[in-house]
């Protein structure tokens, strides 16, 4: 019975889903925003990390778009093969 309760709670809270890359990146970005640099050097490091994170986000978006296009192409090829 305990497993059923835990499964129900996880389902209702959405905890059954694995986090996406975007959610990990968002978490990192929020963590960087919460950091209070103690020196100019630390401040520059945090800013550089944020810049790098933005670039990673752009690349992830491009990869997701490419994956979507490729999945559509595979679907079309499978349909043509069946027909």
Question: Rounded CA gap, 14 and 68, in Å?
Answer: 24
> What mean pLDDT do residues 60-76 have?
96
Q: Residues with Cβ < 8 Å from 35, sequence gap 6 or more?
A: 46
Domain limits, the chain: 19-82
Say yes or no to pLDDT of 1 above 50. Answer: no
> What mean pLDDT do residues 69-83 have?
91
Task: Say what the pTM is.
Answer: 0.68
> What mean pLDDT do residues 35-55 have?
96
pLDDT above 70 covers a percentage of the chain that reads 87
How would residue 5 be classed by pLDDT, with cut points 50, 70 and 90?
confident
Q: Residues with Cβ < 8 Å from 49, sequence gap 6 or more?
A: 32
Q: Are 25 and 55 spatial neighbours (Cβ–Cβ below 8 Å)? A: no
């Amino acid at each position: 019975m305990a497993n059923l309760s835990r499964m129900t709670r996880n389902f209702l809270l959405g905890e059954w889903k694995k986090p996406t890359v975007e959610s990990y990146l968002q978490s990192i970005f929020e963590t960087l925003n919460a950091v209070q640099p103690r020196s100019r050097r630390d401040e520059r490091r945090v800013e550089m990390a944020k810049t790098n994170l933005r670039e990673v986000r752009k690349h992830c978006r491009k990869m997701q778009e490419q994956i979507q296009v490729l999945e559509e192409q595979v679907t079309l090829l499978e349909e043509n093969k069946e027909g």
